[in-house]
């Protein structure tokens, strides 16, 4: 799912500096699962903001609300009343949620409190790693189910590069595995190393023309 990370507190404080009444809006889907913007994090951030203002000697009124999915207009409309009461909205949803809120409530500044980072999965509780780059041209069949576009630091299709560290670690970050060594090991297990021996032509980087649009065939 989408993984996000709360912005540094300094940045958040600056974003809401001009305001005395804000709504902290959470989302009950991806950002809840990755501990960045669910009901708990909304409560914690709201608490922190009140404590911050009181330490500065000024006031702030912070409302709290969480909707099931902030990127759905029908769900976000529930916040209508609360949004009407405040001067600005601080959203803990991913970029999609923030923009949906901004569209629904055009007259209020909707500010992002998290940085949306990647599509990923948990390695263990509290640790998420990037898995998918949303390139629009998935070829995981050829790489044993390991994506080199985002898991290889250089996004190579005919990897590895010459910089793999001892033990199969990445040239850039010795803590990370070289994706192509992982791909090698996976394909070896499956007896499909021929897939790695093949030459792959340059990728179509325009498979998804930004801004992307997907029209379901049924509708």
Which residues contribute to the site for another protein (CB under 8 A)?
9-10, 13, 28-29, 32-35, 38-41, 43-44, 47-52, 55, 122, 124-125, 153-168, 171-173, 178, 180-181, 183-184, 193, 196-197, 199-202, 205
- Quickly tell me which residue has 């990897």 as its tokens: 159
CB of 18 or CB of 202, closer to another protein: 202
Which residues, listed in sequence order, are joined to residue 112 by a DSSP beta bridge? 91
User: Smaller CB distance to another protein: residue 103 or 158?
Assistant: 158
Considering the complex, state which of residue 166 and residue 210 has its C-beta at the smaller distance from another protein: 166
> Could you tell me the smallest distance in angstroms from the CB atom of residue 161 to another protein?
4
Determine contact, residues 63/22, Cβ cutoff 8 Å.
yes
Q: How far is the CB of 16 from another protein (least distance, A)?
A: 12
Taking the complex as a whole, the smallest distance from the CB of residue 178 to another protein amounts, in Å, to 8
Give the helix ranges, DSSP H, for 135-200: 148-151, 179-190, 194-197
Minimum distance from CB of 106 to another protein (Å)?
29
Residue pointed to by tokens 């404590």: 51
- Among candidate residues 75, 73, 80, 67, the one with its CA nearest the CA of residue 32: 67
N- to C-terminal Cα separation, the chain: 25
Q: Toward another protein, which CB reaches closer, 37 or 112?
A: 37
Could you say which DSSP state residue 77 is in? G
Q: How far apart are CA 48 and CA 107, in angstroms?
A: 26
Closest listed residue to residue 51, CA positions, set 9, 85, 112 = 9
What is the nearest approach in angstroms of another protein to the Cβ of residue 152? 9
Nearer to another protein, 64 or 87 (CB): 64
Q: How far is CA 54 from CA 2, 11, 49, 83, in A?
A: 34, 18, 9, 23
User: Measured from the CB atom, is 199 or 213 closer to another protein?
Assistant: 199
- In the complex, what is the shortest distance from the CB of residue 35 to another protein, in angstroms, rounded to a whole number? 5
């Amino acid at each position: 799912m989408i993984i996000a990370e709360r912005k540094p507190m300094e940045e958040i404080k600056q974003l809401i500096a001009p305001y005395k009444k804000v709504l902290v809006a959470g989302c009950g889907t991806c950002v809840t699962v990755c501990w960045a913007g669910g009901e708990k994090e909304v409560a914690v951030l709201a608490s922190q903001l009140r404590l911050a203002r009181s330490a500065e000697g000024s006031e702030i009124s912070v409302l709290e609300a969480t909707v099931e999915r902030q990127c759905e207009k029908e769900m976000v409309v529930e916040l209508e009343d609360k949004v009407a009461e405040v001067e600005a909205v601080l959203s803990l949803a991913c970029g999609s949620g923030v923009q949906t809120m901004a569209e629904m409530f055009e007259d209020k500044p909707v500010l992002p409190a998290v940085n949306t980072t990647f599509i990923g999965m948990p390695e263990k509780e509290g640790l998420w790693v990037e898995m998918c780059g949303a390139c629009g041209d998935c070829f995981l069949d050829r790489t044993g189910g390991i994506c080199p576009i985002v898991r290889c630091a250089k996004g190579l299709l005919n990897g590895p590069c010459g910089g793999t560290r001892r033990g199969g670690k990445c040239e850039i970050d010795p803590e990370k595995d070289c994706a192509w060594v992982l791909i090698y090991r996976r394909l070896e297990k499956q007896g499909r190393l021929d897939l790695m021996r093949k030459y792959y032509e340059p990728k179509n980087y325009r498979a998804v023309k930004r801004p992307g649009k997907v029209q379901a065939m049924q509708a």
